[in-house]
Amino acid sequence: MPDPIQAIKEWCKSKLTQDVVNAMDQGVMSAVPLYKEFAQEGLMEFVKPTEGAAALPNLTAAVKILAAYSGDFGNIVTLNCLGAMLLGLFGDEAQKKISEEMLRGEKLFCFSLTEPEAGSDIQNLKTSAIRQGDQWFINGRKLFATGAADADYILLAVRSNPDLAINRGMSLFLVPRETPGLTISPMNKIASNGFPSCEILLDNAPVKNDALVGGQDAGWGVIAFTGAMERLLVAAGCVGLCSRVVHYVYEYAQQRMISGKPLYEIQWVNHCLSDLAVRIQAADLMVKDAVEKVSSGANPAIEICGAKAFASELQQGVIMSAMKIMGGRAYLKDHPVERWMREGLLSLYAGGTNELQKNLIARKLPGLMAQQDY
């Protein structure tokens, strides 16, 4: 069997051409058919997200490549991997089957937590689920549900017990997109419109009790796990995109002549690229360290939040440096830098904003400092 990472790279190189990637970015082309092709060629099987922590080394390696090629494509694969992972770990037998279908590209997943008044402030979640016999009726409004318009199933976070704090009164339902009472509308994003994020209105949407994932009022633990995995994958994606940008700018700086010499020979340019490559190496090691700790059964919350915040902020710096080094040409759509700049911003919010990561690190700072007491 060929090296799967090499196979994913080759696939991306041949399918995710600049024209295709730009068409997805602008929403002229959907990411869905390509995702199905990718999955049907068995490339999702390589990452086996249904195995949970054991899948992380391959999964993070794959996400680094995918994010480097296309925001849309990186997002659709990452989201479906996360979905397959959490249904594989927390789902009942029927839901585990759906996770296998997702890996074969037969079913698509969406995860919907965010609401107008509950983004960072998840305590304020308002979408309600009220039980009547064997059915629940869901009412509320969700925002930013990426992939909802194309999904077969939407994993909805709802308040199932309004009398309890959110960590004891939240449930997750795996809701078929065709359920009556759902109105799904794409939101107009600055990038990655080939895989739209959507508003979902829920008007008395009926859902069967067996659509619960992880049990009644037990959604918080699943959300916490999913959030941590998402942050780790966001960090991996940032490492991938950062490395792609540096390769691109390095090549450009070798070719571009300034006063008869390659741009790369100007000292601030080669120092800047060297500095970025060193920091990307640091971010990559942070991701690998967190993966190793999760794989060995630990819960490295600080390491994951730190890797996500560090890698996503590094990504903004890498892209701004690319804009500066390449001069005015970076501003043109002839080069992918402007798209990377738009796509790259998502990492600041995905998996929770960096301010929230830093809140968590601050709460646990003495523990981190104790590890650094030299």
Binding mask 65-94 for ligand FAD (x = CB under 6 A): ------------------------------
SS3 (DSSP) at 91: coil
User: According to the binding rule CB under 6 A, does residue 349 interact with ligand FAD?
Assistant: yes
- Which of 141, 353, 360, 361 touches ligand FAD (CB under 6 A)? 353
Side-chain-side CA neighbours of 265 within 13 Å: the count stands at 8
Lookup result for tokens 């390095």: 250
**Rg, Å, the chain Cα set:** 21
Tell me how far apart the alpha carbons of residues 105 and 35 are, in angstroms, rounded to a whole number: 7
Considering the complex, state which of residue 40 and residue 120 has its C-beta at the smaller distance from ligand FAD. Answer: 120
Binding mask 190-209 for ligand FAD (x = CB under 6 A): -------x------------
How near is the Cβ of 265 to ligand FAD at its closest, in Å?
Answer: 39
Give, as ranges, the residues between 126 and 165 that touch ligand FAD (CB under 6 A): 144-146
Residue 338 CB burial class (10 angstroms; 0-12, 13-18, ≥19):
middle
- Which of 74, 194, 227, 352 touches ligand FAD (CB under 6 A)? 352
> In this chain, which stretch among 113-121, 279-287, 308-316, 327-335 interacts with ligand FAD, using CB under 6 A?
113-121
Considering the complex, state which of residue 114 and residue 171 has its C-beta at the smaller distance from ligand FAD. Answer: 114
In DSSP terms, 207 is beta-bridged to 136
Could you give the C-alpha distances from 59 to 147, 234, 308, 360, 368, in angstroms and in order?
20, 11, 16, 25, 27
Give, as ranges, the residues between 287 and 316 that touch ligand FAD (CB under 6 A): none
User: According to the binding rule CB under 6 A, does residue 186 interact with ligand FAD?
Assistant: no
User: According to the binding rule CB under 6 A, does residue 119 interact with ligand FAD?
Assistant: yes
User: According to the binding rule CB under 6 A, does residue 120 interact with ligand FAD?
Assistant: yes
User: According to the binding rule CB under 6 A, does residue 224 interact with ligand FAD?
Assistant: no
Determine the angle formed by the axes of helices 4-15 and 56-69, rounding to 10 degrees.
20
User: According to the binding rule CB under 6 A, does residue 265 interact with ligand FAD?
Assistant: no
Tokens matching residue 100:
């296998």
SS3 (DSSP) at 129: strand
From the list 224, 213, 198, the residue with the least C-alpha distance to 129 is 213
Q: Which amino acid is at 231?
A: R
- Which of 65, 233, 346, 347 touches ligand FAD (CB under 6 A)? 346
Residues that bind ligand FAD (CB under 6 A): 111-114, 119-121, 144-146, 189, 197, 346, 349, 352-353, 355-356, 359
